[in-house]
Amino acid sequence: MRKLEELTIKGFKSIREHTLELDRLNVFIGGNGVGKSNLIGVFRFLHEVINQRLAKYTAIRGGADPILRFGRKTTPKMEFFLKFTDENASHTYQLRIEGFVKELLVPMFAARDLHLTPIILMTKKIKSGGKFKGGVTSYVKMRADLVKLLSDTGALVTTMIDYYGLPSDTPGMADRPVSSSANRVRHVEEATYKDLGSPRNLIPFLALHEFEALLFADPVITAAVIPAPEKASELIAIAGGLAPEDINEHVDSAPSKRLLKVCPTFKKTLHGPVAAERIGLAAIRSCCPHFDSWVIRLDQFAAS
């Protein structure tokens, strides 16, 4: 029988970061105001997420700020690690809520009466222990999540997944054309769309080449947010004169690799959403045409 053995909580209500080692029976003891209710609330929150009721849960509580530690400005994301064990193996799951969609896209489309709900992506499962790493590791798992979401035909489903590092079993990856990056990523998006049955309520989008590329829309702002303002000129130089979405997918020179080379303290989930918000959606769209085309499609849907 599978048992939840360990739970790590980051950024939920009053909990900055805490890891619990759990047994079959657990008793929490503490004085008033030490966070017992918030700890119990974690399990209620995870239950709502698993049952696809995150939007309702958030709305009842007045938005994201009350459930993020000191609000979105201080805590741009929540993260949970759950380790389950059984007789033969252990399995680790990560659940993450990112801030980019909420900070930039939600306000824009709310004014058009299109309400976006970011869905947490459950990423990697590890058998027999080992160090956990995030990221999409199997198209089969991603496909299962998308099929479940697409069953609600009254809702539009879209994706925002890094093109860099996509699993090799993703449709279209094996036969990508020898062409521009934009044509290659569109080929994979279209192949994925067809593999899912070309549903009318799906707009697939893969970030070219990854989310960090958008931060090269203004390296000066990005460097200031990290904070490493003295590194701005190096960030500009390491981009090599390339447009943000043309910074390639090589293992040593993808956007995140270039950022980390210049600014080793850069944290995607901490600095990324803040930098993107300060750069602004208009500036990002003006120099990231693939991203812009996705936003245009969402805007057209909102207007239809």
4-35 pLDDT, tens per residue? Answer: 888 999 889 999 998 999 888 888 888 888 88
Q: What is the CATH number of the domain that holds 56?
A: 3.40.50.300
Instruction: Identify whether 93 is part of a domain.
Output: yes
How far is 257 from 251, CA to CA, in rounded Å?
A: 8
Mean pLDDT of the chain: 84
Same domain assignment for residues 145 and 289: yes
Whole-number pLDDT of residue 95:
65
36, 104: one domain: no
Task: Identify the H or E element spanning 252.
Answer: none
Within-domain flag for 129: no
In the chain, how many domains are there?
2
Banded pLDDT at 141 (limits 50, 70, 90): confident
Alpha-carbon span 213 to 246, nearest angstrom: 8
Question: Do residues 46 and 69 share a domain?
Answer: yes
Claim to verify: residue 285 and residue 198 sit in the same structural domain: yes
Co-location of 207 and 166 in the same domain: yes
130 in a domain, yes or no?
no
Please tell me the pTM assigned to this model.
Answer: 0.68
pLDDT at 165 over 80: yes
Residue 92, beta-bridge partner list:
83
Per-residue pLDDT of 248-300, as tens digits, reads 878 888 999 999 999 998 877 668 878 888 999 999 999 999 999 999 999 99
Q: pLDDT at position 193, please? A: 97
- Between the CA of residue 241 and those of 153, 222, 272, 279, what are the distances in Å? 43, 17, 21, 19
* 279 within domain boundaries: yes
- Mean pLDDT, range 174-194, rounded to an integer: 95
Between the ranges 48-52, 236-240, 268-272, 289-293, where is the mean pLDDT highest? Answer: 289-293
53 lies in the same domain as 171: no
In a domain, 32, yes or no: yes
Residue 127 falls inside a structural domain: no
Q: Which domain holds residue 65?
A: 1-97
pLDDT digits (tens, 9 = 90+) for 94-134: 666 656 776 678 778 877 777 777 765 554 444 444 444 45
- State the pLDDT at residue 96: 61
> Is the Cβ–Cβ distance between 158 and 204 less than 8 Å?
yes
69 and 80 housed in the same domain? yes
Q: Six-digit token pair at 73?
A: 């400005």
Check whether residue 162 and residue 291 sit in a common domain: yes
Residues 19, 110, single domain; the answer is: no
Q: Is residue 79 part of a domain?
A: yes
Residues 29 and 70 in one domain: yes
| 230 and 167 together in one domain | yes
What pLDDT shows up at residue 127? 44
Q: Which residues of 97-111 are buried (b: 16+ CB within 10 A; e: fewer)?
A: bbbbbbbbbbeebee
Domain match, 74 and 142 both: no
In a domain, 276, yes or no: yes
**Banded model confidence at residue 1, pLDDT cuts 50, 70, 90:** low
Listed ranges 55-64, 126-135, 192-201, 274-283; the one with the highest mean pLDDT: 192-201
Find residue 80's DSSP bridge partners: 9, 95
How far is residue 240 from each of residues 49, 59, 132, measured CA to CA in Å?
A: 41, 44, 33
